Amino acid sequence: MIRVMADYVALRKGRNALSTAIHAVLNIALAVVSTALTVISGNWIFGVLLVLLSKWRVVAVRPRYWWINLKANLVDLTVGISLALLVYMAGVTELNSWHIILTVIYAIWLVIIKPRSEAVMTEIQSLFAIFFGTFAVALTTSQLDPVVCAIVCFIIGYGASRHVLMQGDDHDFTLTTFICGLILAEMSWIFYHWSIVYRLGENMTLAIPQLPIATSILFFLFARGYESALKHDGKIRADDILIPSIFLVSIMFIMIFFFSVASFNI
């Protein structure tokens, strides 16, 4: 209901500063209420359900457009559902620091990041979906079958890559999005059996798995390569991705060998 009101305000003609402010407040309220429902109820269903209800416009058209709208909203859905699940996995016995952090991130997503349409912002939006989507998947590996995890990661990779590729002139990118989805699915399969986590402190209830970090780095390199291909008539220049590749591989090397606690699922 909160998001419905927000969308209504956004659709009003001649939107002024007041309506913009109201739209922002309602979106912030969505983030806060989603967290509150999850913590108070002790169940992830209510937070996720509120996120799904906020996407009412996806089905507010003829059924033949539902699939198109769903694909267009995959990134937003991924971020919203993932953050709601992470709030639940952070513990629901009492309000903690993770709940506040995740709520602030969701509010920033809704108010600042999601509405932007510049090329750099679409990459950031996709990175948000990759990171938080695989974050939620990695924390549920003990409860889900690895095949389910792989399927979910395939959808995340498909939606994120499609979100970036849609900004280019070439709209025949089905194979590319399929490959990106397969890569994320394969990475989820590997990290299901070999997971590395990073703990930010003894009082933090969530540990950050390596899967979202690794997939985000890989997707960043993909975005850099795609940007290079756009600039050079479909050819990726080594100069455009060499320095980012070296830098990011170095980060992964340091994290794996110096800041890791590995666990295994046999």
Whole-angstrom Cα distance, residue 108 to residue 125? 11
The answer to whether residues 250 and 122 belong to one domain is yes
Q: Which residue, among 134, 102, 132, 109, has the nearest Cα to 36 in the 3D structure?
A: 102
**Which has the minimum average pLDDT: 39-48, 50-59, 121-130, 254-263?**
254-263
The answer to whether residues 4 and 109 belong to one domain is yes
The answer to whether residues 105 and 193 belong to one domain is no
The answer to whether residues 145 and 212 belong to one domain is yes
Average pLDDT of the chain to the nearest whole number:
83
The answer to whether residues 110 and 136 belong to one domain is no
Note the pLDDT tens digit of each residue in 112-125: 999 998 888 999 99
Question: Which pLDDT score, from 0 to 100, does residue 13 have?
Answer: 43
The answer to whether residues 205 and 104 belong to one domain is no
**Which has the minimum average pLDDT: 8-17, 105-114, 171-180, 183-192?**
8-17
Confidence at 47, pLDDT banded by 50, 70, 90: very high
The answer to whether residues 130 and 260 belong to one domain is yes
The answer to whether residues 101 and 120 belong to one domain is no
Domain span at 161? 116-266
Tokens 């939006």: give the residue: 125
Q: What is the mean pLDDT of residues 183-195?
A: 86
The answer to whether residues 79 and 50 belong to one domain is yes
The answer to whether residues 54 and 140 belong to one domain is no
The answer to whether residues 254 and 189 belong to one domain is yes
Question: Which pLDDT score, from 0 to 100, does residue 49 have?
Answer: 94
- Domain final position from 94, 115, 136: 115
User: Are 222 and 126 a contacting pair, CB within 8 Å?
Assistant: no
Confidence at 131, pLDDT banded by 50, 70, 90: very high
Is the confidence at residue 43, as pLDDT, over 80? yes
Q: Which residue, among 82, 75, 86, has the nearest Cα to 205 in the 3D structure?
A: 86
Secondary structure of 87-101 in HEC code, one letter for each residue: HHHCCCCCCCHHHHH
Confidence at 243, pLDDT banded by 50, 70, 90: confident
* Number of domains composing the chain: 2
Question: Which pLDDT score, from 0 to 100, does residue 132 have?
Answer: 96
- What is the share, in percent, of the chain residues with pLDDT greater than 90? 39
Amino acid in position 242: L
100 Cβ contact partners less than 8 Å away, ≥ 6 residues apart: none
- Domain final position from 51, 83, 115: 115
Is the confidence at residue 12, as pLDDT, over 50? no
Q: What is the mean pLDDT of residues 228-240?
A: 73
- Domain final position from 115, 140, 162: 115
Is the confidence at residue 86, as pLDDT, over 90? yes
pTM: 0.83
The answer to whether residues 201 and 97 belong to one domain is no
